[in-house]
Amino acid sequence: LFVCLYIVFYSRCYVWSTLGFTCVAFTVGSLSWWTPNFVIYSQRSRGIEPDNSEINLVFGLITCLAGFFGVAVGSTASQIWRHTNPRADPLVCAIGLTLCVPFLYAALCTVEHSLTLCWPLIFATITLLCINWSILSDILLSVIVPHRRSTATACQILVSHLLGDASSPYIIGQLSDILRGTDQSDVVRFVSLKNALFMTTFTTVLGAFFFYGVAWYIEESQKKMNDELNSCLQPVAITSSSSEFPSILNNDLPYNSSEEQLVTESDTFKRAGDKSVEAEI
């Protein structure tokens, strides 16, 4: 197991894609946990009593639709671009995260001014974050040989979710509490949470950087995987001399004396029967 893990993590493409997806999971986990509270605090800071159930419902619908749309767009774009560019998969992920940064920053800055404008920005942000979900599996399958893919997938899921969406809500919450101090007013709660959520823009940029690194190394990693796979599929050479197996090497079928004997006996009986019939006539 340890040898397998060492070989898997020796692949730079695999390591960089795992780190990139960890950054994506960190951002997605933070936004999915804190966005409803963030919107509620923004409304309260303006003196508006928000409808919590409506905010949760709208954000849930946006998340679901943006997730489906992002996966579809990412998968389609990578399949089309893959015909002309072998680095299409990681580049689609990197470009998606790069485009996500301005939408995420704008959503965090406009929520206190216009909630109507903020919701489309959040939709665009989540869509761009979800572009890489389906492509990541293709990247892993293209750089890891089949008998190590289950181990590589398990390690990638463990690392990305443990360091990503499992820990990010706690980290953002603790950072917001530190920035807020002892002030419990709605305005300070909103400002401290907004400043804490700005951390997700940096993790998104970092994730894009990692996927650009994957694009740099993916062809090399794919070549290594194909070479290793071909070496595993090489037929076992016959070490015995050819004189010991002349019929096999010459593609000649072995002589089956029993079948030939049966055919001969059958022909003999048939001839004897024909002669007896002629004699009777």
In the block, tokens 């293209």 appear at 142
- Residue 235 has a pLDDT of 59
Give me the domain span that covers residue 101.
1-231
Q: Which of 29-33, 43-47, 136-140, 263-267 has the lowest mean pLDDT?
A: 263-267
Query: pLDDT tens, 114-143?
Result: 888 999 999 999 999 999 988 998 898 888
Q: What is the pLDDT of residues 255-274, one digit of tens each?
A: 444 444 444 444 544 454 44
- Please answer whether residues 38 and 110 qualify as being in contact, where contact means their C-beta atoms are separated by less than 8 angstroms: no
> Is 246's pLDDT higher than 60?
no
What distance in Å separates the CA atoms of residue 19 and residue 212, rounded to the nearest whole number?
A: 12
Confidence of residue 249 (pLDDT cuts 50, 70, 90): very low
At residue 244, the pLDDT reads 46
Q: Is the pLDDT of residue 78 over 50?
A: yes
Whole-number pLDDT of residue 257: 45
> pLDDT grade, residue 67 (50/70/90)?
very high
Q: Is residue 54 part of a domain?
A: yes
In this predicted model, what pLDDT tens digit does every residue of 151-202 receive, in sequence order?
888 888 999 999 988 999 999 999 999 998 888 788 889 999 999 999 999 9
Backbone angles phi, psi at 256, to 5 degrees: -105, 100
**Confidence class of residue 252 from pLDDT cuts 50, 70 and 90?**
very low
Task: Give the total number of structural domains in the chain.
Answer: 1
Q: For residue 251, is it within any domain?
A: no
Q: What is the pLDDT of residue 169?
A: 94
Phi-psi region of 241 (alpha: psi -120 to 50; beta: other; left: phi over 0): beta
Q: pLDDT above 70 covers what percent of the chain?
A: 79
The three-state secondary structure class of 66 is helix
Q: What mean pLDDT is predicted for residues 80-104?
A: 93
Q: Given this model, what pLDDT does residue 146 score?
A: 82
Q: Can you give 166-230 as a three-state secondary structure string?
A: CCHHHHHHHHHHHHHCCCCCHHHHHHHHHHHHCHHHHHHHHHHHHHHHHHHHHHHHHHHHHHHHH
Vertex 213 angle, CA 195 and 71, to 5°: 70
258 belongs to a structural domain: no
Whether pLDDT at 231 is above 90: no
**Residue of 146 and 194 predicted with greater confidence:** 194
Answer yes or no: is 273 within a domain: no
* The model's pTM: 0.78
Mean pLDDT, residues 228-252: 54
Per-residue pLDDT at 241? 46
CA distance 28 to 133: 12
Q: Does 80 fall in a domain?
A: yes
Residue 260 lies in a domain: no
Quick check: 237 pLDDT over 90? no
CATH classification of the domain holding 48: 1.20.1250.20
Binned at pLDDT 50, 70 and 90, residue 281 comes out as very low
pLDDT, residue 45, reads 85
Say yes or no to pLDDT of 80 above 50: yes
- Assigned domain for 277 exists: no
Residue 85 inside a domain? The answer is yes
